[in-house]
Amino acid sequence: MTDLKQSQSIFDRNQPKIKFGVVVFPGSNCDHDAYYAVGHVLGQDVKFLWHKDTSIDGVDVVILPGGFSYGDYLRCGAIARFSPIMKEVIAFARDGGIVAGICNGFQILCEAGLLPGALLRNECLTFVCKFVNLRVENNQTRFTSGCSKGEILQIPIAHGEGNYFVDKTTLQDLERNGQILFRYCDADGKINEQANPNGSLENIAGIVNKEGNVMGMMPHPERAADPLLGHADGQKIFRSIIRYFHSMEYGKSFSKVERS
């Protein structure tokens, strides 16, 4: 098992650090987890972005963390979608900026129209909190390049509304475009009903937009990033993002993000 010190040195310390911004909404409860994962475990630059902020200048990656933004009133993410910061996040994403929504962040991205579909009440009608197995469906993205196709990741979930749903036509588009990143599976990588913790359509656990720069996933990679806690598969999502930037020719600074 890799210890924390080794984990922090995964990336060359001479390489420029990526600047992450973690949005904090009223009711967010995984913001500090995300901050710790990218800042302390992976040694990148990170700052909090308050929901009332009207600028995200200087940030390379935006993370919308898990939690219960605005108490999940109306619908999960329905109010947060109208926070002042979201106007900037939407503009950032539409200009090619990288955005990752985790759990409640995934719900917010769907409400904001940055990702297709909706997250419905769990089929079991109860809150589910446990480790699950995820099969990597597409490793040719900015969020999964550090994984192998078909690899099984162990990452926890904690949600009451993680039942992903889209219409048939949109599902076909997601399949055809390779936008489905993760599916719930059993320990052998098989996709079946028993491995589906929330009733999500086609066992979908995470997707990316057609342009490839906005990801949403219900499982919490930030909670499986520190080897000291016994699980580190979540690091692979964050490492993939970091490697994406390091693979591009920015010189010594990422202050000007090249949009794709």
Q: Which residues are annotated as catalytic?
A: 103, 220, 222
- pLDDT at residue 15 in the model: 81
pLDDT surpasses 50 at 9? no
Q: Which of 110, 115, 40, 35 is nearest to 80 (CA)?
A: 110
- pLDDT at residue 8 in the model: 44
Structure confidence at residue 11 as a pLDDT band (50, 70, 90): low
Give the chain's domains with CATH numbers: 18-246 (3.40.50.880)
The helix or strand, by DSSP H or E, that contains position 241, with its residue range, turns out to be helix 235-246
Per-residue pLDDT tens over the stretch 73-97: 989 999 999 999 999 999 999 999 9
Residue 39 CB burial class (10 angstroms; 0-12, 13-18, ≥19): middle
pLDDT surpasses 90 at 5? no
Mean pLDDT value across the chain: 92
- Residues 200, 78: Cα–Cα separation, whole Å: 20
**Contact at 8 Å (CB) between 39 and 72?**
no
- Residues 57, 34: Cα–Cα separation, whole Å: 19
**Contact at 8 Å (CB) between 185 and 152?**
yes
Structure confidence at residue 248 as a pLDDT band (50, 70, 90): confident
